[in-house]
């Protein structure tokens, strides 16, 4: 499955170089060092979130045209 990820720099001095990674369709947010780090964190978060949903038989939202931005 693919989900859109919106990137935003963290604007706090102690987190210089970090980015937020928002996954709007799942209402999830994480962060990581640099864009690549934030994308890896987002992928790990989505995989863990999906595993939990599937384990409990809960529905999982889909996205018709995911975009990575």
29-62 tens-digit pLDDT: 999 999 999 999 999 999 999 999 999 999 998 8
Q: Which residues contact 62 (CB under 8 A, 6 or more apart)?
A: 1
Mean pLDDT computed over every residue of the chain: 92
Looking at per-residue confidence, does 16 or 68 come out higher? 16
Residue 16 vs residue 66, higher pLDDT: 16
* pLDDT of 62: 87
The tokens describing 22, both together, are: 């928002």
Q: Is the pLDDT of residue 1 over 70?
A: yes
- Which residues have a Cβ under 8 Å from the Cβ of 7 and sit 6 or more positions away? 19, 20, 21, 22, 35, 38, 39, 69
């Amino acid at each position: 499955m693919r989900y859109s990820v919106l990137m935003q720099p963290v604007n706090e001095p102690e987190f210089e170089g970090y980015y937020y990674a928002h996954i709007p369709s799942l209402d999830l947010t994480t962060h990581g060092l640099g864009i690549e780090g934030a994308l890896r964190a987002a992928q790990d978060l989505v995989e863990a979130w999906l595993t939990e949903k599937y384990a409990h038989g809960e529905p999982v939202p889909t996205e018709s045209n995911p975009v990575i931005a």
